[in-house]
C-alpha cells in the first residue's frame, strides 16, 4: 500500500499515520516556536501602539509634519497586526498540512499590499522632507495633498501586489521521513534517496523510514518555474534596491542641509530663528528617518532569505541544522517587525508625541471615571 498523504488513517508497519500527522505537526511547531513568540509579541505591541498613533495624529497633533502619511502607515500596520499576522499564526500551526489555497493567496497578497504601500509612503515622506528642507523657496506641500497622495500610494501598492494572487498557493513536496519511538526525527526533500518510494515502513536499527507528501503555503505548484514568479522576485529585489538608493541620497542631502542651517551666521535674532527652525526640522526629520530605517532593516533580511529560498531550495534548506532552520523561519518573518516598532520610535524621538499620549491617557481615564460614576447613579 503506497504512502500517499500524511492525512490517511491507515496503519503501516508499527505506526499509525495519524500519529505521523501529529508528530510532523509537533516538529513544525518546534521549528516555528521562536517565530510564533516573535509575531505574538508584535500583535500585543502593535495593535495598541498603532491605535494610539492614529488617535494622537488624528485628533491632537494636527499640525505635525507628515501627519496624514503617519496615519496611513499606522493603518497599514494595523491591518497587518489584525489580519495578516493572525492568519500567519494559523498557517504556521498547520505548517506541513496546510491545504487552503485561497486563504494562502489572500494572506500573501494582503501582506505584500500593506508592505508595498508602507514602502511607497515612506518614499513620499522622504521626498516631502527633501523638498521642505533642501528647496525651501518652493511652495510647501499641503496636508490635503499628502492625504490624497497617501490614498493613491496605498492603491498603487495594492496593485503591485496582485501577482501574489497567482504566485502563492499550495506547494506539495515529497519528503523522506524517519521516525524513532513515534517521533519524526528527520524530514528532508525527496531527491531519489533510498526510502523515497517504499510502499511500507522500512525498519533499520529501530528507526522507521518512508516518504510523505506535505502541503505548505508557499509558491503554488503550477507557478514554481513560471516566468511570472521569477519576474516577481526580480522586480521586488530591483525595486527595493532602487528605493534604498533614493532614500539614502535624499536623507544624506537633508542631513547636510540641516547641518548648514544650524551653522548659519547672521544677526543674533536671525541666527536664533534659523537655529530654532533647524532644530525643529531636525527632530521631525530624525523621527521620519528612523521609521524609514526600521522598515528597511526589517524588510532586508526577508528579501534576502526569500531569494535564497526560491533560487536554492531544497538543497540549501535541507543542509541547515534544526537551530539554523529555526533562525531561518524567524528571519523569514522579520518584515512584521515594522508593524509594531513605529509607535516606540515616535515616543523616543518626539516630545510632542509623548505629551500627546499622556494627555490622551488622561482623557481616557477621565472618560472611564465619568462612565463609572454615571453607572452608579
Say whether pLDDT at 12 is over 50: no
Which residue is listed with cell 494559523? 90
In our burial notation (b when 16+ CB lie closer than 10 A, e otherwise), range 164-202 reads: bebbbbbbebbbbbbbeeeebeebebbeeeebbebeebe
Query: Lowest-pLDDT range, 49-53, 282-286, 294-298, 360-364?
Result: 282-286
What is the CB neighbour count within 10 angstroms for residue 222? 12
Q: What is the pLDDT of residues 239-281, one digit of tens each?
A: 988 988 998 898 888 888 877 776 654 444 444 444 555 566 6
Say whether pLDDT at 1 is over 50: no
pLDDT of 167: 94
**At 11, is the secondary structure helix, strand, or coil?**
strand
C-alpha cell at 153: 500610494
Percentage, residues of the chain above pLDDT 70: 75
Read off the pLDDT of each residue in 329-334 and give the average, rounded to a whole number: 90
Query: How far apart are alpha carbons 244 and 226 in whole angstroms?
Result: 28
5 contacts 213 by C-beta, under 8 angstroms? yes
CA angle 326, 328, 329 (to 5 degrees): 70
Say whether pLDDT at 300 is over 60: yes
Query: How far apart are alpha carbons 4 and 6 in whole angstroms?
Result: 7
Among the ranges 89-98, 155-164, 195-204, 220-229, which has the highest mean pLDDT value? 155-164
Q: What is the pLDDT of residues 63-113, one digit of tens each?
A: 777 889 999 999 999 999 999 999 999 999 888 888 899 999 999 999 999
Say whether pLDDT at 10 is over 50: no
What are the angstrom distances between the C-alpha of 21 and each of 6, 16, 30, 202? Answer: 6, 9, 14, 18
CA angle 311, 33, 90 (to 5 degrees): 80
**At 120, is the secondary structure helix, strand, or coil?**
helix
What are the angstrom distances between the C-alpha of 118 and each of 23, 78, 344? Answer: 39, 12, 17
Query: Lowest-pLDDT range, 19-23, 128-132, 360-364?
Result: 19-23
In our burial notation (b when 16+ CB lie closer than 10 A, e otherwise), range 248-263 reads: eebbeebeebbeebee
Say whether pLDDT at 200 is over 90: no
Read off the pLDDT of each residue in 49-75 and give the average, rounded to a whole number: 89
* Banded pLDDT at 13 (limits 50, 70, 90): very low
pLDDT of 267: 43
Amino acid at each position: 500500500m503506497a504512502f500517499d498523504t500524511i492525512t490517511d488513517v491507515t496503519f503501516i508497519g508499527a505506526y499509525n499515520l495519524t500519529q505521523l500527522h501529529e508528530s510532523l505537526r509537533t516538529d513544525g511547531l518546534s521549528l516555528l516556536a521562536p517565530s510564533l513568540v516573535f509575531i505574538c509579541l508584535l500583535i500585543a505591541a502593535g495593535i495598541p501602539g498603532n491605535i494610539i498613533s492614529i488617535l494622537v495624529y488624528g485628533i491632537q497633533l494636527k499640525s505635525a509634519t507628515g501627519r496624514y502619511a503617519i496615519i496611513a502607515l499606522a493603518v497599514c500596520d494595523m491591518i497587518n497586526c489584525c489580519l495578516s499576522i493572525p492568519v500567519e499564526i494559523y498557517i504556521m500551526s498547520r505548517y506541513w498540512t496546510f491545504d487552503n489555497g485561497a486563504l494562502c493567496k489572500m494572506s500573501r497578497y494582503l501582506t505584500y499590499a500593506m508592505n508595498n504601500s508602507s514602502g511607497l509612503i515612506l518614499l513620499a515622506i522622504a521626498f516631502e522632507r527633501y523638498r521642505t528642507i533642501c528647496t525651501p523657496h518652493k511652495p510647501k506641500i499641503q496636508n490635503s495633498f499628502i492625504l490624497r497622495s497617501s490614498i493613491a500610494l496605498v492603491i498603487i501598492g495594492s496593485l503591485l501586489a496582485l501577482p501574489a494572487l497567482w504566485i502563492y498557493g499550495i506547494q506539495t513536496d515529497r519528503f523522506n521521513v524517519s521516525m524513532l519511538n513515534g517521533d519524526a526525527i528527520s524530514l528532508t526533500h525527496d531527491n531519489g534517496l533510498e526510502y523515497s518510494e517504499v510502499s511500507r515502513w522500512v525498519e533499520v536499527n529501530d528507526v522507521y523510514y518512508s516518504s510523505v507528501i506535505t502541503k505548505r503555503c508557499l509558491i503554488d505548484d503550477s507557478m514554481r518555474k513560471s516566468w511570472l514568479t521569477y519576474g516577481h522576485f526580480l522586480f521586488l529585489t530591483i525595486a527595493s534596491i532602487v528605493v534604498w538608493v533614493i532614500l539614502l541620497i535624499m536623507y544624506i542631502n537633508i542631513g547636510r542641509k540641516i547641518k548648514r542651517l544650524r551653522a548659519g551666521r547672521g544677526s543674533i535674532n536671525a541666527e536664533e530663528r534659523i537655529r530654532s527652525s533647524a532644530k525643529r526640522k531636525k527632530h521631525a526629520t530624525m523621527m521620519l528617518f528612523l521609521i524609514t530605517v526600521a522598515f528597511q532593516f526589517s524588510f532586508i533580511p526577508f528579501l534576502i532569505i526569500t531569494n535564497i529560498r526560491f533560487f536554492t531550495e531544497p538543497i540549501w534548506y535541507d543542509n541547515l541544522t534544526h537551530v539554523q532552520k529555526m533562525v531561518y523561519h524567524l528571519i523569514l518573518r522579520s518584515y512584521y517587525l515594522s508593524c509594531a516598532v513605529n509607535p516606540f520610535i515616535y515616543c523616543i524621538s518626539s516630545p510632542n508625541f509623548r505629551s500627546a499620549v499622556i494627555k490622551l491617557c488622561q482623557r481616557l481615564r477621565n472618560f472611564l471615571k465619568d462612565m463609572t460614576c454615571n453607572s452608579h447613579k
